[in-house]
Amino acid sequence: MPVPSDKTSRHWFVTGASGGLGRHLTEHALRNGDRVTATVRRPAALDGLRETYGARLTVEILDLTRPADVDEVTGRTLRSGPVDIVVNNAGYAVVGAAEEMTTEQMRDQIEVLLLGPMAITRAFLQPMREQGGGRIIQISSVGGQVGIPTHSSYHAGKWGLEGFTESVSREVSDFNVHLTLVEPGATRTGFASALQYTTETTVYRDTAVGRTRHHLETADENTFTGDPAKLAAAIYDTTRHPSPPLRLTLGSDAYGAIHVALTERLTALETQKALAESVAFTH
């Protein structure tokens, strides 16, 4: 397998690379001649890729609920050389009513979905500024724009990530550092099989919480229409674009749900125009 010259090869840092979209992105980048530092919780999951791509793949163990680990792994990666593209992909969801979630479950969601990506993003901003540019890809979700019952802590993390990323993207645009939020719909990545469920309480069983929970517990593979390999290719192509979008919506289901949510939000806002204007001082 030919190794490209340094002029064309780029260095990726990808979290949550053991399976799903993270693995597809890692493999796609390697197949196109790039280097990847991939973080996982189970290093053996990438043994096959290590055999195929050798030294172009570095595997690091990382638990995003441990901030000290984030500092150690990002520091070691940066000491190995410049990083061109960072992908904050690792994530999972706890399903259940907010009342049913434990404090630990909520904190872990925020650590993995928001605080971990914030720390990783911050770790790479200065090096990217100093090297003249870079790309940071935040894997958000349709759930970063649309709220459903049973996902309150997940939405807290993803909506927070969206606000953080939009703000930072404006802070570093003058330095040729671009941030993109990827908002996939239902994708065949094994994400659903990794859902964690709260202990169900009878009071919510016959409500929107119970119905959503039942739908998720009984969903089959056909519910997940997104092809992770195609998503990975689309994300990869975005990193080659000189002016990438702030938000990249992938999946017809994601497009439809976000379109409805934004339209409803705008319609509701427009009904409040007169009230919004009425609270100003009168002169």
Task: Identify the CATH number of the domain in which residue 169 sits.
Answer: 3.40.50.720
pLDDT one-digit tens code per residue, 184-223: 998 887 777 788 999 999 999 999 999 999 999 888 777 7
| Best CA proximity match to 124, nearest among 111, 113, 135, 115 | 135
Verify whether residue 255 is a known catalytic residue: no
Question: Does residue 5 lie within any of the structural domains?
Answer: no
Catalytic choice (154, 169, 204, 236): 154
Is 10 in contact with 34 (CB distance < 8 Å)?
yes
- On average, the pLDDT of the chain sits at 93
Mean pLDDT within 73-99: 96
Question: Does residue 123 lie within any of the structural domains?
Answer: yes
Residue 2 reports pLDDT greater than 70: no
Check residues 43 and 205 and name the one with the higher pLDDT.
205
Question: Does residue 282 lie within any of the structural domains?
Answer: no
Verify whether residue 158 is a known catalytic residue: yes
Q: Compute the half-sphere exposure of residue 127: CA atoms within 13 Å on the CB side of its CA.
A: 20
Question: Does residue 283 lie within any of the structural domains?
Answer: no
Least confidently predicted of 3-17, 46-60, 219-233, 256-270: 3-17
Query: Which residues form the domain of 246?
Result: 11-277
> Using 50, 70 and 90 to split pLDDT, how confident is the model at 1?
very low
Q: What is the pLDDT of residue 169?
A: 98
Is 119 in contact with 39 (CB distance < 8 Å)?
no
> Using 50, 70 and 90 to split pLDDT, how confident is the model at 77?
very high
Q: What is the pLDDT of residue 116?
A: 96
Catalytic choice (53, 152, 158, 169): 158
Residue 3 reports pLDDT greater than 60: no
Global pTM reads 0.93
Task: State how far the Cα of 138 lies from the Cα of 221, in Å rounded to an integer.
Answer: 25
Question: Does residue 91 lie within any of the structural domains?
Answer: yes
Question: Does residue 6 lie within any of the structural domains?
Answer: no
Mean pLDDT within 69-84: 95
Report the DSSP pairing between strands 11-14 and 85-88: parallel
Question: Does residue 108 lie within any of the structural domains?
Answer: yes
DSSP helix/strand/coil, 195: coil
Is 16 in contact with 39 (CB distance < 8 Å)?
yes
Q: What is the pLDDT of residue 201?
A: 95
Mean pLDDT within 40-56: 93
Q: What is the pLDDT of residue 40?
A: 95
| Best CA proximity match to 50, nearest among 62, 64, 35 | 35
Question: Does residue 189 lie within any of the structural domains?
Answer: yes
Mean pLDDT within 41-59: 94
Mean pLDDT within 236-251: 96
Mean pLDDT within 125-145: 97
Verify whether residue 197 is a known catalytic residue: no
Domain count, the chain: 1
Catalytic choice (18, 140, 141, 153): 140
